[in-house]
């Protein structure tokens, strides 16, 4: 029996305060520097204060958890995940999902240098979910594959997970959850209990971390264009989310806990799609349905 750590409550307030100190100093300093450079005022409305702060926060995360460390940690976590879960045995299915994922990830040009993506299928029909580990290891459960009807729906979810990595949400969330020292310990192998606890969290919840509302919409906002640029029908994301919203049972609950507010996100995605010039991406329904026969 694995121990499940409630993600939000696992963070002691004092640790949180400490982390905030770590995280705030650099962003504020950077924001101040950018402000002195006069960017928001002279950018013709192109650069808002929010985007300056976002950039600053990203710089802080980059400084605290450099890509090399994130990759090291991701590798260790992926090993744990694959020890705890059964990957689907069909090589053909694994290759198919990886091919769709790679096509989408190839459009994530804003991924930090050095990170490359892998996509694997976990054989578990009860879990309707997908998740990303640090360093670009992305997993999708067979429960989610069965819910989707075509490649565009799968691409929509994979785009979202890729965006959690490219926008460094995972690094940010991990920093907030286990703190800088905990993270470094895990990445260097000195904090093996922390690593096991994170992996157990995943086994219990079907998600490594629960992201904040801002990070979820940020991942949607960045992920959808990846899938569209890869040639997929943008409505795939909306169709899948409509199904997830209506879904019942524990498998869906897990998804909704780690991906909150489906209605709002569907509306946001629709608004984003309305602004797209090219809405005629492919769905590859026949190929997808054929792939489902492997499950
Ligand atoms: Zn998400």
The terminus-to-terminus CA distance of the chain in angstroms comes to: 27
Which tops the pLDDT comparison, 52 or 2? 52
Distance CA 139, CA 129 (A): 9
Helix, strand or coil, per DSSP, at residue 139: strand
For residue 117, pLDDT beyond 90: yes
Tell me what pLDDT residue 205 has. Answer: 62
Which stretch, 13-22, 29-38, 151-160, has highest mean pLDDT? 151-160
How many angstroms is it from 274 CA to the middle of ligand 1?
22
Protein residues near ligand 1, an ion, with CB under 5 A = 219
Which tops the pLDDT comparison, 69 or 137? 137
How many angstroms is it from 104 CA to the middle of ligand 1?
16
Q: Please, what is the average pLDDT of the chain?
A: 80
Tell me what pLDDT residue 76 has. Answer: 87
pLDDT (mean) for 20-39 = 38
Helix (H) or strand (E) run with residue 138 in it: strand 137-141
How many angstroms is it from 217 CA to the middle of ligand 1?
8
Distance CA 88, CA 124 (A): 8
Q: What is the pLDDT of residues 207-218, one digit of tens each?
A: 666 787 888 889
Q: What are the structure tokens assigned to 108, written together?
A: 């994530």
Distance CA 278, CA 193 (A): 48
Tell me the whole-structure pTM to 2 decimals: 0.79
How many angstroms is it from 1 CA to the middle of ligand 1?
26
pLDDT (mean) for 108-123 = 96
How many angstroms is it from 139 CA to the middle of ligand 1?
12
Distance CA 121, CA 95 (A): 10
For residue 8, pLDDT beyond 60: no
How many angstroms is it from 178 CA to the middle of ligand 1?
19
- Tokens 């922390």 label which residue? 194
Contact 77, 195 (CB under 8 A): yes
How many angstroms is it from 219 CA to the middle of ligand 1?
6
Q: Which residues contact 54 (CB under 8 A, 6 or more apart)?
A: none
How many angstroms is it from 234 CA to the middle of ligand 1?
17
Q: What are the structure tokens assigned to 110, written together?
A: 């804003």
Q: What is the pLDDT of residues 254-287, one digit of tens each?
A: 677 777 678 889 999 999 999 998 888 999 999 9
Helices (H), the chain: 13-36, 39-42, 49-64, 67-84, 91-105, 142-147, 151-166, 169-188, 192-205, 213-229, 235-246, 250-258, 262-274, 285-292
Tell me what pLDDT residue 9 has. Answer: 31
How many angstroms is it from 15 CA to the middle of ligand 1?
24
pLDDT (mean) for 112-120 = 96
For residue 135, pLDDT beyond 50: yes
* HSE toward the beta carbon, residue 91, CA cutoff 13 A: 0
Tell me what pLDDT residue 203 has. Answer: 62
Q: What are the structure tokens assigned to 58, written together?
A: 């990203």
Spatial CA neighbour of 234 closest among 202, 204, 264, 271? 271
Contact 294, 93 (CB under 8 A): yes
Q: What are the structure tokens assigned to 69, written together?
A: 């460390």
pLDDT (mean) for 19-39 = 37
């Amino acid at each position: 029996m694995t121990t499940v750590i409630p993600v939000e409550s696992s963070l002691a307030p004092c640790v949180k305060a400490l982390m905030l100190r770590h995280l705030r100093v650099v962003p504020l300093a950077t924001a101040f520097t950018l402000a002195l450079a006069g960017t928001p005022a002279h950018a013709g409305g192109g650069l808002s204060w929010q985007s300056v702060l976002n950039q600053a926060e990203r710089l802080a995360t980059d400084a605290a958890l450099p890509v090399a460390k994130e990759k090291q940690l991701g590798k260790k976590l992926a090993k744990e995940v694959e020890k705890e879960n059964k990957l689907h045995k069909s090589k053909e299915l694994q290759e198919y999902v990886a091919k769709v994922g790679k096509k989408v990830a190839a459009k994530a040009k804003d991924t930090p240098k050095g990170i490359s993506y892998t996509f694997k299928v976990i054989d578990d029909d009860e879990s309707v979910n997908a998740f990303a580990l640090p360093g670009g290891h992305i997993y999708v459960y067979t429960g989610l594959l069965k819910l989707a009807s075509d490649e565009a729906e799968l691409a929509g979810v994979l785009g979202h997970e890729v965006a959690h990595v490219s926008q460094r949400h995972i690094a940010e969330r991990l920093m907030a959850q286990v703190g800088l020292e905990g993270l470094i310990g895990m990445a260097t192998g000195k904090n093996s209990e922390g690593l096991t606890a994170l992996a157990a969290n995943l086994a219990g919840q079907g998600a490594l971390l629960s992201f904040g509302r801002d990070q979820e919409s940020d991942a949607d906002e960045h992920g959808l264009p990846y899938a569209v640029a890869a040639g997929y029908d943008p409505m795939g994301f909306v169709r899948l989310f409509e199904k997830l919203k209506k879904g019942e049972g524990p498998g869906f609950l897990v998804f909704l806990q780690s991906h909150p507010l489906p209605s709002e996100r569907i509306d946001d995605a629709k608004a984003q799609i309305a602004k797209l010039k090219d809405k005629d991406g492919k769905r590859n329904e026949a190929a997808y349905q054929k792939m489902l026969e492997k499950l």
